[in-house]
Chain A
Amino acid sequence: MDEKVNCTKCKCGKEDKFLKKLFTIYKPNKDNLIQMLNEIQEHYGYVPMYVQQELSEFLKIPMAEIYGVVTFYSRFSLEPQGKYKISVCLGTACFVKGSQKILDRLSERLKIEPGETTEDVLFTIDQTRCVGACGLAPVFTVNGEVYGKATVQDLDKVLDKLLEQEG
């Protein structure tokens, strides 16, 4: 599963080679569902709806059940995820120290709402409950890297740097 195809926006309708391969590697056995979803998430960066439908036909599991699994585990997502996932903690400690302002600023700068991804698939905004770093509140993370005692200015700096890197 090495070759990364950018399927996220492609509507070319051509045969999906990755899926075809997946359906030969795995037997149509219900027990393979999670494992196959892992590979799909890894490959596409999310679990596209049409893939869930094909998987449902392949494994003979109702699509609603697959959708239920995808929405249950936080490691699966229904939308393409940006290259940078910026999560702002809205847990009690962080909230009290003003993390909402950081989140608002993020939305304002990227022009998307929490949970959404930018058009260029660079950024995804996420809001989380307590991430267990209350001592550092308010906290935000970029792809898991924690920024503690954060201010709106800190966020701006991080964003500027990333935008510069990406050109």
Chain B
Amino acid sequence: MKEELITLKIDNKEVKVKKGSTILDAARQANIDIPTLCFLKDINEVGDCRMCIVEIEGRRGFTPSCVQKAEEGMVVHTNTPPIIDARRVILDLIISNHKIDCLTCTRSGNCELQDLAKKFNIRDIEFPGEKIEHTIDDVSPSIVRDFSKCVLCRRCVATCKNVQKIGAIDCINRGFESCVSTVGNNSLNDVNCTFCGQCIQSCPTGALHEKETISEVWEKLKDPDCYVIAQTAPAVRAALGEEFGIDIGTNVTGKMITALKRLGFDKVFDTNTGADFTIMEEANEFIERFTNKNSVLPMITSCSPGWVRYIEMNYPELLPHLSTCKSPHQMFGALIKTYFAKKEGIDPNKIYVVSVMPCVAKKFESTREEMNYDGISDVDNVITTRELSRMIKEANIEFKKLEDDNFDDPMGEATGAGAIFGTTGGVMEAALRTAQDILNKKDLDTIDFKKVRGEEGIKKATINIDGKKIKVVAASGLANAKVILEEIKNGKADYQFVEIMACPGGCVMGGGQPIKSSKVRAEIDVRKLRANCLYSIDEKSTIRKSHENIILKKIYKEFLKSPGSDIAHRLLHTHYVERKKYKINN
């Protein structure tokens, strides 16, 4: 069917757009910018803040362009002096309620409110008035909420409620006291929040951000007795460059390693190698479950801690489906503190492992009491991609101009399979590459399982291995996870292997990644660019199957014996607990 087009005039320019487009869409298509604040494409289209108002000839007053559909023959003005004045009044009101703190705010330089203030040339505060004092919620290990910087756009509420289907935050109270908060106005730590961090990604301001733990890293880097090791997740290299003005989806692995070494890390390792271990253990666990009649199937992957927290709180009865494998950086941390420490003759108590992750839930994960061996924690600190970029800026390193470097031996080279862990479908694909070889007992050429690639939230495929049909599903985003869990709960699951990631699109779109403005998100498919970066790293790798990783083979031979061995279980596997959703007392 041919799309129906309509014609309208915006600022004297004739624009042809698809029927059903909003005036905002139409204007952007014609390269006419309209400021927005509460609008977040496909997620929050409510027309609340009125920052995007325009004038439509023949209509009284102003109309919010983010919700108003374009109509044939409409004549629209977007930037007349009265419109600008009206927008300025709206902005003045918002700013008068805002704790203006730009010099010390995590979002300074990447804040939609700050941008608007700049755009409107705000020079003083028009309505200084009574402000409510809000306590800052920094109880959880992952997320900080500072309501004094909230503009009540509700982008976070819509993200949490509709995209993730969690609903941990909502508008509470009324009038002057209304705000975005949780059940009982409690900390996110004490409600059904999964720490996925998607709300941070949606927030235009500094009202939501990660719990920053950079200063501890600096302390350890200063300490000559401390052996500080960094490991970096696959998705970090596909996005870190963005914080330094490099194009989205550029692979900055080499520069990232150089920067980490300049910061003073004693070693820089690749979490992708950890991912190769995860694949070995997970593929093995799957084959065991698949070939043993009475095992629990389908098996679900466990490398996304936001997802793990979700199932622990919402479907504890399905926990036996969860693979017992730790996530890659936890496995890798455990190996660093045992195998590597012994090999290099370093006291594991003196090693400080910093994981650089695209994720805020991993901050919580590393504090779980299961994540240690003989009382020595696998990982000592988790910082996000954003936090690493801040450290690099603090150290005055000109990232763009850095040379490339390589990951350190002996935990160096990872496979392409490890790289694609950072995108939805990647864990599945990596596991299948290994599982098919084990089941077939030979090295097969099938490398690309394209059916589990792509942007859909739920991807199903049937794979033929050694005459056996294996049905697999990859789901990303917790709303999609819920669909799969309901199928399993109701006995409607006819598949055997499920990959779930908490963030829509997988780790490349994790809660700790560089934050993109509403406008960029509407115009650019960020997920695709970052995911393609990982797929091309995979394609260019000489080794693309986890079980062929040279260092991995060596460590199994010298130390772990075989996947699923006793020692592998103690170091690389974990268990789960049922969690209460709310702390309530009446």
A55-75: CB near B (< 8 Å → 1, else 0) gives: 000000111110110011110
Q: Which residue of B lies closest to A70 (CB)?
A: B172
A64–B182 touching, CB < 8 Å: yes
Q: Which residue of B lies closest to A51 (CB)?
A: B586
Asked whether any CB of chain A lies closer than 8 Å to the CB of B458, the reply is no
B170–A72 touching, CB < 8 Å: no
Could you say which of B191, B581, B582, B586 has the most chain A C-beta atoms within 10 Å of its C-beta? Answer: B586
Asked whether any CB of chain B lies closer than 8 Å to the CB of A48, the reply is yes
**A65 to B171 Cα, complex, angstroms:** 7
A53–B582 touching, CB < 8 Å: yes
B586–A71 touching, CB < 8 Å: no
Asked whether any CB of chain B lies closer than 8 Å to the CB of A158, the reply is no
**A50 to B61 Cα, complex, angstroms:** 46
Given the known interface contacts A49-B585, A63-B183, the answer about A71 and B167 at a Cβ–Cβ threshold of 8 Å is: no
| Inter-chain contacts of B586 with A (CB < 8 A) | 48-50
Given the known interface contacts A49-B584, A50-B584, A50-B586, the answer about A62 and B172 at a Cβ–Cβ threshold of 8 Å is: no
Asked whether any CB of chain A lies closer than 8 Å to the CB of B173, the reply is yes
B167–A72 touching, CB < 8 Å: no
B167–A64 touching, CB < 8 Å: yes
Selected contact of A63 from candidates B174, B178, B192, CB within 8 Å:
B192
The minimal Cβ–Cβ distance linking B585 to chain A, given in whole angstroms, is 7
| Inter-chain contacts of A53 with B (CB < 8 A) | 581-582, 584
The minimal Cβ–Cβ distance linking B154 to chain A, given in whole angstroms, is 11
A33-52: CB near B (< 8 Å → 1, else 0) gives: 00000000000000011101
Could you say which of A61, A64, A67, A71 has the most chain B C-beta atoms within 10 Å of its C-beta? Answer: A64
| Inter-chain contacts of B174 with A (CB < 8 A) | 71-74
Q: Which residue of A lies closest to B168 (CB)?
A: A64
The minimal Cβ–Cβ distance linking A155 to chain B, given in whole angstroms, is 27
**A64 to B186 Cα, complex, angstroms:** 11
Q: List B395-424 residues whose CB lies under 8 Å from chain A.
A: none
How big is the A interface, by class? 10 to 19
Asked whether any CB of chain A lies closer than 8 Å to the CB of B308, the reply is no
A61-97: CB near B (< 8 Å → 1, else 0) gives: 1111101100111100000000000000000000000
Selected contact of B170 from candidates A48, A49, A67, A73, CB within 8 Å:
A67
| Inter-chain contacts of B171 with A (CB < 8 A) | 68, 72
Q: DSSP class of B's interface residues: helix, strand, loop or mixed?
A: loop
Asked whether any CB of chain A lies closer than 8 Å to the CB of B184, the reply is yes
| Inter-chain contacts of A74 with B (CB < 8 A) | 174
Asked whether any CB of chain A lies closer than 8 Å to the CB of B481, the reply is no
| Inter-chain contacts of B182 with A (CB < 8 A) | 64, 67
**A52 to B191 Cα, complex, angstroms:** 13
The minimal Cβ–Cβ distance linking B485 to chain A, given in whole angstroms, is 14
Selected contact of B173 from candidates A49, A65, A71, CB within 8 Å:
A71
| Inter-chain contacts of B184 with A (CB < 8 A) | 49, 67
The minimal Cβ–Cβ distance linking A119 to chain B, given in whole angstroms, is 14
| Inter-chain contacts of A49 with B (CB < 8 A) | 183-184, 582, 584-586
**A85 to B557 Cα, complex, angstroms:** 75
**A69 to B168 Cα, complex, angstroms:** 14
Given the known interface contacts A62-B161, A62-B166, A62-B167, the answer about A71 and B584 at a Cβ–Cβ threshold of 8 Å is: no
Asked whether any CB of chain A lies closer than 8 Å to the CB of B17, the reply is no
| Inter-chain contacts of B257 with A (CB < 8 A) | none
Asked whether any CB of chain A lies closer than 8 Å to the CB of B432, the reply is no
| Inter-chain contacts of B172 with A (CB < 8 A) | 64, 67-68, 71-72
Q: List B563-586 residues whose CB lies under 8 Å from chain A.
A: 581-582, 584-586
9 extra interchain contacts, Cβ-Cβ under 8 A, other than A68-B170, A68-B172?
A48-B586, A49-B184, A50-B586, A62-B167, A62-B170, A64-B167, A64-B181, A64-B182, A67-B184
Q: Which residues of B are in contact with A by a Cβ distance under 8 Å?
A: 161, 166-174, 178, 181-184, 191-192, 581-582, 584-586
What are some 17 contacts across the A-B interface (CB < 8 A)?
Answer: A53-B584, A62-B161, A62-B167, A62-B168, A62-B170, A63-B191, A63-B192, A64-B167, A64-B168, A64-B182, A65-B170, A67-B170, A67-B172, A67-B183, A67-B184, A72-B174, A73-B174
Q: Which residues of A are in contact with B by a Cβ distance under 8 Å?
A: 48-50, 52-53, 61-65, 67-68, 71-74
7 closest A-B pairs by CB: A62-B167, A49-B584, A64-B170, A68-B170, A71-B172, A68-B172, A67-B183
